[in-house]
Amino acid sequence: MNTKQQTIQKAVSVSGVGLHTGVQATMTFLPAPPNHGYKFQRVDLPGQPIVDADVDNVVDLSRGTTLEQSGARVHTVEHTLAALVGLQLDNILIQLDGPEPPIMDGSSIRFVDALRDAGIEEQNAYRNYFEINEYVHYRNPEKDIEIAALPLNDYRLTVMVDYNSRVIASQHASLNDITQFSDEIAKCRTFVFLHELEMLYKQNLIKGGDLTNAIVIVDREVEEGELDHLAQLLNKPKVGVNRQEGILNNLELHYPNEMARHKLLDLVGDLALIGRPIKAQVLAARPGHAANVAFAKKIKKLIQKNAANQVPQYDPKQPPVMDINRVYQLLPHRYPFQLIDKIIALDANSVTGIKNVTMNEPFFPGHFPGNPVMPGVLQLEAMAHTGGILVLSTVPDPENYWPFLAGIDNCRFRRNVLPGDTIIFRCEFTSPMKRGIAKMNGRGYVNGQLVCEADMTASLVKKK
């Protein structure tokens, strides 16, 4: 799995009809800066609203995953998101001039091919993995669905499907290496049972459905008159049945277990809505979009819980997100006020920085001589420097801005900081940034113990 974040080198577009809305649309993938994540943009609507690929924005699960934010909807996002995850892309803006991504052939392969053609670009930011460290379980006893995540320093998925059908036996599919997604999973197409087709049409779904973008499984005997009716329904001159495999119109499967592989594809796409790449072994029995999303919500809640309670960890053997030279470029402070040595984690909402306290600090000779203690005001200053990096990360050209500390509230110092200590500062936005004003909570830890904390307000001002 990649260490650094990735985007694409240039914009690339695909066009086609949406599966459920039947609306022709062009979808354009654009490069995005570090920590941007996946965002859809409805360029056909007034104001061109943004819809974040976030599990909390899911509003409909009728045969697909639909997002809504600020009154803008995007239907059937799972195949698009699966392609991004499968290529280990982290930061993409997805512009749509319609309500739904093109269904293409019912898989993710056309998206994968387009993104590969655009070229993949490594970015100067580390991926913010969430590593599952406990057993996470979801169960729907009514539908006999189970999904579980187990601790693993990797990302692997196994899916089992069983439809009690004489045509499709119980099937399994596994993805043991995310780099295999493009070759082993991406071209596996969506599918539907024949008995579901007319019901879906009556529900005003699959308006863009076609025998070229879905596998239709024939799980019962079909009379010639019914085939004529199906042909009319699908706007085809004639349809037939591959009696051996039970597939409508003699379609050839890519794999005997293509249906299980497509369910794995859907699971990858739906779990992208967690908002962070995860490390886990995921096992799913008879999954569907509703279960996938419910499971994703459980993991997101776990992430939020850990973020609130977790003491940040520091492994000095790991390369930093920003070394002292990059920090020096972004922050205006110089000796003796250059107080942060490195940034070890940075995402859209939080930052973690390191301050190594040595006896050579210029303040020790005059601050409690003979009993050296780091001044609390300088601990707070170092915390503000860390928060300044977070605030600067919200703009594409941080070198052109000043991050000023504008307010301090609820400041507390819990214990002394001494020479030889390493302070780990973590700052996190407490509300969305508005008009250049950011509100953050900052905490400093030494050896896993809280030493200082404060709520801070920062102002981001463009240089003149």
Per-residue pLDDT reduced to its tens digit, 24-75: 999 999 999 888 999 999 999 999 999 999 999 999 998 799 999 999 999 9
Do residues 277 and 330 both lie within one domain? no
What single-letter DSSP state applies at residue 349? S
Do residues 30 and 136 both lie within one domain? yes
Average the pLDDT over each of 15-29, 397-411, 446-460 and give the range with the smallest value.
15-29
Do residues 133 and 273 both lie within one domain? yes
- What is the per-residue burial (b if ≥16 Cβ within 10 Å, else e) of 230-269? bbeebeeeebebeeebbbbbebeeeeebbbbbbbbbbbbb
Element (DSSP H or E) covering residue 261: helix 258-271
Q: Among candidates 184, 126, 120, which has minimal Cα distance to 156?
A: 184
CB atoms within 10 A of CB 9: 11
Here the contacts of 168-172 (C-beta below 8 Å, separation 24 or greater) are 168/217, 168/219, 168/246, 168/259, 171/256, 171/257, 171/259, 171/260, 172/257, 172/260
Inter-residue contact 282 to 271 (CB < 8 Å): yes
Domain contains 318: no
Inter-residue contact 353 to 340 (CB < 8 Å): yes
Domain contains 134: yes
More confident residue, 414 or 168: 414
The per-residue DSSP string of 102-137 comes to --TTSSSHHHHHHHHHH-EEEEEEE---EE--S-EE
Cα–Cα distance between 340 and 331 in angstroms, integer? 10
Domain contains 8: yes
Do residues 277 and 210 both lie within one domain? no
Cα–Cα distance between 431 and 205 in angstroms, integer? 38
Do residues 230 and 373 both lie within one domain? no
State the catalytic residues.
Answer: 289, 367
Q: Give the number of domains in the chain.
A: 3
Q: Rg of the Cα trace of the chain?
A: 26
List, for residues 354-412, the tens digit of each pLDDT value. Answer: 999 999 999 999 999 889 999 999 999 999 999 999 999 999 899 999 999 999 999 99
Do residues 240 and 363 both lie within one domain? no
Domain contains 316: no
Q: Flag whether pLDDT at 309 surpasses 70.
A: no
Do residues 288 and 374 both lie within one domain? no
Cα–Cα distance between 267 and 246 in angstroms, integer? 25
Here the contacts of 139-144 (C-beta below 8 Å, separation 24 or greater) are 140/290, 140/291, 140/294, 143/286, 143/288, 143/291, 144/285, 144/286
CATH number of the domain residue 369 falls in: 3.10.129.10
Do residues 263 and 360 both lie within one domain? no
What single-letter DSSP state applies at residue 188? P
Q: Among candidates 420, 421, 419, 410, which has minimal Cα distance to 452?
A: 410
Cα–Cα distance between 364 and 76 in angstroms, integer? 60
Residue 102: φ, ψ to 5°? -60, 140
List, for residues 400-414, the tens digit of each pLDDT value. Answer: 999 999 999 999 999
Do residues 328 and 351 both lie within one domain? yes
List, for residues 221-272, the tens digit of each pLDDT value. Answer: 666 666 776 666 666 666 666 655 577 765 688 999 999 999 999 999 999 9
User: 110 forms bridges with which residues in the sheet?
Assistant: none
> Domain containing 132: what range?
4-186+259-308
How many angstroms separate the Cα of 64 from the Cα of each of 21, 79, 82? 11, 9, 13
Do residues 282 and 231 both lie within one domain? no
Cα–Cα distance between 77 and 124 in angstroms, integer? 28
